[in-house]
Structure formats: C-alpha cells, structure tokens
Structure 1
Amino acid sequence: MSTATMRAVRLHAFGEPDQLVYEEVARPEPGPGEVLVRVHAAGVNPPDWYAQRGFENFPAEFRPAWTPPLILGSDISGVVTALGPGVTEWQPGDEVFGLINFPGRGSGYAEYVVAPAAHLAPKPATLGHVEAAAVPMAGLTAYQYVFTHLRGDVGSTVLINGAAGGVGHFAVQLVKAAGAKSVIAVASGRHERFLLDLGAERFVDYTRTPPEELAHDVDLLIDTVGGPDAHRLLPTVRRGGRIAPVFLGDYHRDRAAELGIFVNETLWQVRSNGADLTKLAALIDTGQVRVALDTVFPLHEAAAAHTRAEQGHLQGKIVLSVEGEGLR
C-alpha cells in the first residue's frame, strides 16, 4: 500500500464554507479502468456548495448519503501520471480534463485524483488548465441538453434565462452551433456586453423589465434558474413551443398545456462522458465556443470560492487553481 500523501481540501462537517479545510491526506491509487491525474485546476459547481450544506435544499428522500470528511469537486483539468490495470487509451503525460464520477463524488479539490478513463477527454489545445477546468459540468450540461436531449432541434428563436452563468453562457453559444437564428439572453444589466459578445442577438435586463414583457413567440426556453416563479416566463413561449428546465421550477403545467406549451417533465441530468466532452472540446478549439471565468482562487482558499459562489450573479465559472499548491 502506498504511503504517498497530497494536499487537498476536505469538508469536515456540513455547514458554512469554513468547514472546508486545506490539509494533508493520503494520495489515491488508480484501480482497474482508472487513471491517476495530477490536478492543475478544479471547477466549482452548484453540487459542490449544495454538498457543503448537506444538500439541505433537496427533499430528504433525494439527499445523497454522504458522510464527512470528504473531498468535493467533479471538474478537473490536469496531467495523467499513472494508469490502472486495463487502461490503454491514455499515457502518462497526457493533458486531460473531465467531469469525473458524476452523478456521485468526484474528489477533485486535491493535488491528485483518480478518474475512470472513460470520463476524461484531451484538454482543448487552445485552453490552459484553469480555463479547461471551467468547462466540464456546465459545458456538458448545456451540450448534452442541446445535442442529446433535444437532438439539436432548438428551433429558430431561443430564450435563455440565467444566460450569464456557467450553464447559461455555454447554452447561448451551443444553441447557435445547433442552428438557432436568434438568441435572447436574460440576465442582469452588467452582463449585457458579455452576452452580446458571445453571440446573443437580444439582451433583456430582468432587473429593469420583466422578460415576458419584451420577449414573445420563442420556440424554446432554456431556463437555468427555475424556482417557484418560473411560470412567469410562459408568455414568452409560442403555442407549440417548449420549455427546457435545467433546475426545478413551477411552470403551472396545466396553464402551460392550455397555452399549447410543452414543458419537459423530467429534468435532464448531466452525466460524465468523455466522448461528449471531446466533441465539446472540438467546438472550443475551432472558436465556436468560448469559456468565461468569474473568479479564480488557489486551492487553499476553497472556502472563499464557496462564499463567492453562494453570493450568486456569476459571470461564467469559479475555478480553483491547484498547480503549485504542493510547494506551500
């Protein structure tokens, strides 16, 4: 058994961000079908701060049975350092990124992580590790929604609510790649230039004017916000149009049916998939998709990163820089 160690951030108890502790722990070893990755950067995602608080926002029957101490983090970018038995598709030294073990625990807030070989993809050549770590969960959520769940059928006009966030800013670009002619981006006013630069044709500042007063007859609403007031967006969708919720929302389904609007009854759950991530990486390397960073924190400031995440109103993604932590 290896006695090697590494630095990692572990959650010692559910609660506030200060329960995330930077410390020395045992380094994992890859098993069959797995690789060991030296993590250079790790993305911070909603499931990470939900886990930090013990999934208190989930109905009790849906809360994962996780017990601290545990290492959070599913998005990573780094370099393969060792191979488990049976792995032939990767070699030590390969630069990779991935959404690892999701749904489930990824353990990416660390200097090293073990990942199933099939969950990884070659890192986009045009991105550094920090930018690459911002892609997997948010990018795959948008990619799989558009190209797997909707099969690329997005219609001509798409409204994206919460367009400046992690999933939203990828969705703006991916529906364009799927053939949408007009994208209406809904966010707060400070994100207008950002979203127009990403390719949105129209911008709606929801803090000044309700979107339902300005946008109508859209073919598809991708709602990355949801919540109890989600039904307010029904007037934006044409008869025969669709609502694609990314998070739980109350869309007054009976009223939607009266209006001839189809609301997807099953939330789309992103899943680790190296093949899909490879396709997304190709769109990034050809310039069709750009990655936005909200803030970057060093690994040992993971608590500060979670505090920033809980403040909301993100423009892109929060990332933890892991490279160089071992020198502390």
Structure 2
Amino acid sequence: MTSERGQSTPFFLCFLVLMTVMVGTMVNVGQAINRRIALQIVADAGAWTGATNMAIGLNGLAEVNQWRRDIEPIASVGVPLAGLIGLDGMVQKIWEVGTIIINFVDTGIQVGYAKIPYDEAARVTWYNAHDLFPGEQLEWYEGYRPWGDPDAVNEEVPFSKSRPTACQDQPFWTSTFFVLPCLVDLAPIENTVYYVVPCFPFGYCPSSYTYVKWFEKEGEEISFVWVVKAPETKAIFNPFDVFGDDAIPEMVAAAHAKPVGGTIEEGEDEYRVRMEPLSAAAMYFSPSAALHGGNYDPIFEKWRRVLY
C-alpha cells in the first residue's frame, strides 16, 4: 500500500510562499503610503512656516505704513499753514527727513523678508526630514507658477522655484539700474497739497507740493507654496531582490499657505496664516494638482490625492 504521508507539504509550501508575498506586498504598500503622508506633513509644515514669516513681514510693512499715516498731517496740514508765513520749505524738509527714516525701516523689512520665508521653511523641513526620513536626502524648494509660464499649460508638471522677489515701485530706491529684492510690490499713493507762499513785492502766490502719503500692496495675491521631494528607496520586504533595488518610487508633495487678515494700505498689522487647498492657487499653479491633491506620482506622471 502506497503511503500518502507528505503529499500536503508542497501545497502548504506554495501557500506559505503566496501568503508571504501577499503580506510582504501589503507591508510595502503600507510603507509607500506612510512615506506619502509623512512627505505631505513635511510639505505642510514648510508651507506654514514660510507663510508665517511672510505674515510677519507684511505686518511689519503695515506698521511702517501706519507711521506714514501718522506723519501725513505734517505735509497735508503743516505745509499749507507754513506757506502762509513762508516756512513751507522747512516743513517739507521735516516731512522728507521723517519719510527717509521710515523708508530705511521699510527697506530692511522688504529685503529681509524676501528671503526669510524660504530660509525658515528650509530649516523646518530639514529638521522634519531628519526626523521622518532618517538617512535620506530630501529636496525642497518654493514652488510658484505665474501667468505667462509656458509650463503652466502642462497640468501634470510639478512646480518650479520661480517666485519673483524684485520690487518695481520701491519707496526706498528710485534707480532703474539697481532693483533690490523685496517681499511684495508696493504702489505709491500720491497726494498734492496746495498752499501759498509770500510773493514779492507784495501779496501771496499759490503753490503746490506733491508727496507720497503711503503705499498699497499691488499685484497678485501673496502665497507660499512649498514643494518637497523624497528619493526612491528600498522596500522593507524584498527577499531575493524580487521588487528591485528601489521598489518605493520617488515622491513629490506640495502644500499651500497664505497670509490673510491684514491690510498694508490701512496700516492694519493683523496678518495671520491660513492653510489653503492647492485648488485656491489653481490660477497660478498646476490645475491637475489643484484637483487631485498634493502628491505627484512620477511613475504615472499624475498628482495623487492624500488622505489623512
């Protein structure tokens, strides 16, 4: 009689191999999902930090504008009154000296906070990357896509670093040959004061003095979009190199935050930060990213939604 002992062993081994592959695949998929979520957290923190520093800079500009409003009566009231007695030139000089001092403060805020948001976002991202992606080298940059960018028509292309930081109408520099970096573009609000000065041999003559009262923010909305890229990496479960050297693909995540609440023109230093969906930046950024969330899949060349 033939023995049937051991006949189930091949089936059990095949089942064991199949189950091991299934469990390993689940582990690797979980690893990829965890990396996606961790990468989005890093991008969110970077965007929040950058926008926070933008808000600090905008609050500084609003406060400086309030100083301009405080000294505005010197020109609008003081110059006409001084014109009655022929001292309008002295009052104008007082106003201009005060304005020059304020412009220097404005310069420091504009130039400093043109770069501080990026530097602080990079610092926070570096810390979080070392915590969530130990031993890996992530890439990050500030993402921006303005009107007129030919890449903007390709909705599947990730963001590129191109936020402009040069002011056109600068309260602190009028030369067209040397343009300083700045946080935002400011447009001057001008005013003309009419007054009288002594006319010889007798009487008074009308005169006028045109000056910049304060500035208003012009141009597009100010946002901070932060893009973080994680490299390919090995899978946790990869016996005999079944899944290849770099089974987990490269990933790109983006996040969008913006300063809201304050008003530079009114001198209201109440800017604070609000996280925005990428759809809020759809006019300037990748339309597909706006529709599908914050992770870019280079394998299928599409943006993928992130679920928290």
* Bucket of the pairwise TM-score, normalised by the shorter protein: under 0.3
Greater CA radius of gyration, 1 or 2? 2
Higher helix share: 2
TM-score by length of 2: 0.20
TM-score by length of 1: 0.19
Q: Answer 1 or 2: higher relative contact order, Cα 8 Å, separation at least 6.
A: 2
Higher strand share: 1
